Amino acid sequence: MTEYRNIAIIAHVDHGKTTLVDGLLKQTIELGHGQEIAERAMDSNALERERGITILAKNTAVMYGGVKINIVDTPGHADFGGEVERVLGMVDGCLLLVDAAEGPMPQTRFVLRKALELGLKPIVVVNKIDRQDARAEEVVNLTFDLMAELGANDDQLDFPVLYAIAREGKAFRNLEEPKNDMVELFETVLEHIPAPDVDLEAPFQMLVTNLDYSEYLGRIVVGRVKRGTVKKGEFVNLIHKDGTMTKTRVVQPFTHLGLARIEVDQVGAGDIVALAGVEDAQIGETVADLADPEALPIITVDEPTVSMVFQPNTSPFAGKEGKYVTSRHLRDRLMKEIMTNVSLKVEEIRPDEFKVSGRGELHLSILLETMRREGYEVQVGAPQVIVREIDGVKHEPIEHLVIDVPEAFSSTVIGVISSRKGQLVNMEPQGNRIRVEFKIPSRALFGFRTSFLSMTQGEGIMSHVFDGYAPWAGDLKTRQNGSLVAMEAGTAFAYSIFKLQERGTFFIDAGTEVYVGMIVGENARENDMNVNVCKNKKLTNVRAAGSDEALTLIPPRRLTLEDALEYIGEDELVELTPKSIRLRKKILDPSFRK
């Protein structure tokens, strides 16, 4: 009988979780199984590889000393917190990864709080100790203080510490005696993480914590087997959240090893497995024994905090670039998304309008970017925070914001955040930089990142995490400038853009096709301005000196999807197609708009 250890890797975004898993895989798999391991092997989704962030929680497993260690890589971004909460239910301990220079960050705090509440035993790994500004000892003390503050018990506070350079595949216990491999990390896991309670004789029971989909096998449910065993072809009961049951058959059980899913004839308690054939399963439901079904507690996921309205594209350019353009396509795609994306909610407001709510702007923009790449055309309104009424008082979501800026810019940044209703909670100098912490309404951060980067000349670092609800902070003005709106349809000419460029910043190049009501730039003043960018120079037969001097155009500001969502106002929309991101007014005709 195999022995198991189930661990999750948790950390702030970019502290090296996925790289650490690469190291663990390389040292156990390439030696024994001949699988080649790519860099950041766990980030399998194209968007994850481009942005260098983990969006979906994934699992892998390694064999060490005859023990199977199941490892779950979790996202560090709080927007994907729904992923983190489910995953922690599958494991008995966690590796808490902390950057040796940055120390514990807001999202470390978010994931760690969840892990400690579930009673998981942490092992602290201080990563990137080869950085010049590394302060490993101090970071260990800060981590201890954070755990104490989050209410860790004595057993959790008595955590082992390892030091690592994940990129080079090294992890060791003693700073003075560095090792060239990860043996000491494996040994610490076997020593400190409890083995799961295994009862193979009891009736089968497993909680669905993740869903996957395969073209050949249909829906695949992933979770940890709580007790008992299940064989290929066996019938089981699926217990739904409302207590009703469906009889269903396990077509194929799988276990994990390295990056591969391995077909097996039977799976048993203690292992993290995947079952194909359990069609209607939702996350949080129980797959149980046919004769003696018993439900496990349902997982709860934090509520969404931000919503946007999705509609099929209705601009004059609709249908030119995408494959899926109707409201039926949009509805089907959103319904498919809710099946696997637990922290997302979709409501149909009108037949062609859907209110989609998620954990934050990034959560929703990743969904939009994925849809766009799949060939969908869609238009969305500005992000709105979800307001709640608590004891008759209007409450709104609040974020815990941490910024790290060079001292020279600190007073400007603090001034701007205070004007957006941010409250200063903590401030500590770190060399020639300052780390400042605020509590701030979520809506005050829409559109803030761009101005923050220009305020700090690109040197500021900011990260924030949902902190709870607080009474409504009053009116906020987050956008200072109006838009430049096209009043003629056609092709934009360099001549017109040149004549208008001191009036504002353009988002388009010469040669771009525009329609009436499309936003082509940002006005330098507060109000919107209608402009004609399709006017070319009148040709005369007089060739005077200097009449045809070269036009020097200021390069346009290229908006990414996040920039576009942050930029738009209440009466504006972002139009997304597989090839373009355009901004437009909800009402295109300038005379109606008045």
What does R_g of the chain's alpha carbons equal in angstroms?
27
To the question of whether residue 19 is assigned a binding role by annotation, the answer is: yes
* C-alpha–C-alpha distance, residues 285 and 293, integer Å: 12
Residues contacting 203, CB < 8 A, separation 6+ = 227, 228, 288, 289, 291, 292, 293, 294
Alpha carbons 230 and 249: distance in angstroms, whole number = 10
**Is 128 assigned to a binding site?**
yes
Per-residue exposure over 246-265, b if at least 16 CB sit within 10 Å of its own CB, e if not: eebebebbbbbbbbebeeee
Q: 16 a known binding residue?
A: yes
Q: How many CB atoms lie within 10 A of CB 423?
A: 14
Q: Binding residue per annotation — 499?
A: no
Q: By C-alpha distance, which of 551, 531, 396 is closest to 476?
A: 396
Secondary structure of 207-263 in HEC code, one letter for each residue: ECCEEEEECCCEEEEEEEEEECEEECCCEEEEECCCCCEEEEECCEEEEEEECEEEE
Query: How far is Cα of residue 70 from the mean position of the Cα atoms in its chain?
Result: 23
Smallest CA-to-CA distance from 353 within 322, 376, 331, 323 is with 331
**Beta carbons within 8 Å of 383's beta carbon, 6+ residues apart:** 306, 307, 308, 361, 364, 446, 565
Burial (CB count <10 Å: 0-12, 13-18, 19+), residue 63: middle
CA distances, 499 to each of 362, 506, 524, 546, 583 (Å): 37, 12, 14, 16, 22
- The number of beta carbons lying within 10 Å of the beta carbon of residue 484 is 24
Bridge partners for 277 per DSSP: none
CB-based contacts of 43, cutoff 8 Å, min separation 6? 18, 49, 52, 53, 54
- Residue 9 phi/psi, 5-degree rounding, is -105, 120
The Cα–Cα gap between 139 and 390 comes to: 39
Q: Is 15 annotated among the ligand-binding residues?
A: yes
- Taking phi over 0 as left and psi of -120 to 50 as alpha, with beta for the rest, 517 belongs to left
Q: Pick from 73, 97, 119: which is nearest to 272 by CA? A: 73
DSSP-based three-state secondary structure for 520: strand
CA distance 569 to 589: 17
> d(Cα 429, Cα 337) in Å, to the nearest integer?
44
**Is 226 labeled as ligand-binding?**
no
Backbone phi and psi for residue 183, each to the nearest 5 degrees, phi listed first: -55, -45
Is 14 a known ligand-binding residue?
yes
Alpha carbon distance 508, 485 (integer Å): 12
198 CB neighbour count, 10 Å cutoff: 18
Per DSSP (E only), the strands in 407-503 are 423-430, 433-441, 461-471, 483-486, 490-491
Q: Is residue 312 within a helix (H) or strand (E), and if so which, with residue range?
A: strand 306-312
Whether 127 has a binding-site annotation, put simply, is yes
- Residues annotated within the binding site for GTP are 14-19, 127-130
- Residues annotated within the binding site are 14-19, 127-130
